Structure 1
Amino acid sequence: MNETVISYSLYLILAVSMTVWVARTLHKNGRIFLVDCFNGNTDLADSVNHLLVVGFYLMNIGFVSLYLKSTEETTGARGVFELLSGKMGVVLLMLGGMHFFNLYVFTRMRRRATLANLPPPVPPMHRVSKAHDILDTL
């Protein structure tokens, strides 16, 4: 095998492994957050959590696949490490970006759920019927 094939193989193994690890971490820890967002509806939270993980896999593994090709000629161990580190750096930045995007979505969902559960505003203590009644109270 030449160095380019070795680089591609190591890149795919590392990138897919990192994607799976991040997705599993998001799935495990995101469930608790989603249950809170959906007011304890665990079935809905689990369903949304699963759909988010599937989307995460599709986006990231699709990116990893598209980013596989290299136009540079890889020679020697140094070339393998340089190509691999550059590609993995971009993949890790992409995974981090997707992670923060998921956190943003979760936070918005939680904020919306929290606002929906607030009690209604306090009604006024008494009702003023005419403008001159207001002036009389001053």
Structure 2
Amino acid sequence: MDLSVLAYVVYLVISIGLTVWVARTLSSNGRIFLSDVLHGDEKLADAVNHLLVVGFYLVNLGFVALYLKSADPVDNTRGLFEALSVKLGVVLLVLGVMHLGNVYVLNRIRRRGLLEREQFPPVDSDGWTGPTPAGV
């Protein structure tokens, strides 16, 4: 078997496995965060979570597919490991940047929601409460 083909197979197996693992981890743990961001609306949190996971898969698997081709031929075992380390390192960096981007955007949405909640007084501002009787 040609070492370049072996490099492609190993790269695809590891990259797709990492993408699936990260997406599942983000989906299961991100649901709680999304529920808080969306003020406890569980159905909306689940829908947004699902859409984010689909987008995550599309972007990352698309990148993995586009980054498959190698410019240099793999001639020996050392070249195989070097090619894999560069390709997998870039895939890991892209996965990390995608994750941090999602968390950043969701945290901004969450902060905006918290600020909006703090702007409303706990009671109606037009309500009038009479004086309390002495001794109570």
TM-score by length of 2: 0.86
The residue that corresponds to 2:3 in the other structure is: 3
How far apart, CA to CA, are the structure 2 residues paired with 1:103 and 1:19?
A: 17
The residue that corresponds to 1:63 in the other structure is: 63
Deviations 1:18-50 (A, max 9, x none): 111111111011100010111110000000000
Cα deviation, residue 119, structure 1: 4.4
Percent identity over paired residues? 56
Deviations 1:44-66 (A, max 9, x none): 00000000010000000000000
The residue that corresponds to 1:96 in the other structure is: 96
Pairwise CA RMSD: 1.4
Runs of 4+ in 1 over 6 A off after TM superposition: none
The residue that corresponds to 2:29 in the other structure is: 29
How far apart, CA to CA, are the structure 2 residues paired with 1:9 and 1:75?
A: 16
Cα deviation, residue 71, structure 1: 1.2
Residue 117 of structure 2 aligns to which amino acid in structure 1? N
- Structure 2: gaps spanning 5 or more residues: 126-136
- Structure 1: gaps spanning 5 or more residues: 124-138
How far apart, CA to CA, are the structure 2 residues paired with 1:72 and 1:119?
A: 59
Residue 67 of structure 1 aligns to which amino acid in structure 2? Y
Cα deviation, residue 105, structure 1: 1.1
The residue that corresponds to 1:47 in the other structure is: 47
Q: Which of structures 1 and 2 has the bigger CA Rg?
A: 1
How far apart, CA to CA, are the structure 2 residues paired with 1:74 and 1:107?
A: 43
How far apart, CA to CA, are the structure 2 residues paired with 1:62 and 1:108?
A: 27
How far apart, CA to CA, are the structure 2 residues paired with 1:29 and 1:100?
A: 14
- Give the number of aligned pairs: 123
Deviations 1:98-118 (A, max 9, x none): 010011011011112212222
Residue 75 of structure 1 aligns to which amino acid in structure 2? D
The residue that corresponds to 1:132 in the other structure is: none
